[in-house]
Structure 1
């Protein structure tokens, strides 16, 4: 049985990369002996629950800057990979990919770099671009979340097309299990994700300011936490939207809540392959998102099961969202069309792609 290790920078973060890492580890442990290695653990414990069959290794038990992780963890990682005879390591994200690539130079473990962002979204950020190049250059394979990002690697980094593939994130079994039938009677809008600058909550508030006063019987619920949350709270108060734009915080039962909503809105400046849109699709929710460089365009069929908005056009997003809010018929039509792309994100189909990649390495 092959021994594989999935390496993440910090498994205590409640983010999309950590959620995918957990889901992948819990699925692959049926086929392989699986370890999850967290380079550091700032919040003291994993954000998501790993299977009992997955072995957890923490390199540093506290948070640390990248240079400290590299300096202090160099020997420990090499020692761990050698001692446990790890055949293959999947590095999740840019930081983990670059650090593990450097730490593994001269080692026997074969690396697969899994880019959970998108190359061109951060092309102008020299340090991030350099880390992606290092991670991809010193790995046997690179995996991107979208076809667009795969093409960008080939064009910009001259990556050998045979060494790079696209594998989508899958829709979690629990999401499917808890999904319900769509109700046009719902007057609730959903947005969920970390409150960070890249997630576009500054634009969301402006959209809400334009559209919510026209629909006084509707509410827009925001789930999540993060550094920009206080700013968003202040803006909601400034615009007098406290009764319609509601901060719901972090919840542990998010999967069971999707069925209560009428529409999902994603206002991000950039994305990889947004899990919230996949989870919304499993619940047959119409979706509205900025058509940023990667991600939403491979999930949403514009004008069929949702709307793709010209990036950062607040007026257009407010207009299209208003169309959905005003028309039960349009919401029902979009909901009925969401199932057409669901097979592309089927867990069994995507897990098979991972197993083929690992076995053929």
Structure 2
């Protein structure tokens, strides 16, 4: 068995599941200023309260797995992205504190609501910046990061940061639309199409920009035979956007939400097509970064046990709290 390849897929799946799940609850926080009153914000919080902290389990699995399984990649990527990753983690912590303190703060509730919004916005933006900085390439010399302190900050990484903010806001609007009723449900539904349009616009800009970053990306997307795998992606993106529009028109909230998640999945697949088989784009492959096979095999045994357990309790939480959220934040 190619254990490095198996672990590459495990880490990739963990990162995508984090984006798909934590993306919508970060999106709810980003949309907080657009909610009309305290009762609507209580309802929106109630829509994510049972699942938001469990969603972040996948971030730990992705980051911890990278450290254990691909130590060379960890040793290169994290020094290159220290600033956005540390700011992201601090924002997630501050957001979590605001989530809990908001309920018990009395007259200072307004402060914690703004903190929840700010933490969500900064975390999403920094995740997008880290993605862009990783995709544009990390300077490696020997087996170490050789770039500068500010290499992560560029027009491209800022663009990907904004793209993720709008994308997460789209997911958040889809989740509120799915989980609520009445005026909040209708307003969240009205947000989805504009946010989806903005997200697709960013997807187009980033997709056209990415091949210009490195010749290898250009070859992957515009030369035969690799373009065979790449060409269907933009077509499927267009069909997914059409599905979102039709689902909203018919009032199918679940289908609309799942279609927004599929939009992220297609972007993720496009990203994989661009960088494969590298884990540090254009510099280090999965095989070069992997730990010894004995370590990979030992860790895989643990993953075979733990990942199904994580999936089980995640699925249980979503099933138990599957209903709509009443005005004020209670499920029924």
> Fold-level match, TM-score > 0.5?
no
TM-score by length of 1: 0.28
TM-score by length of 2: 0.29
**Structure with the higher helix share, 1 or 2:** 2
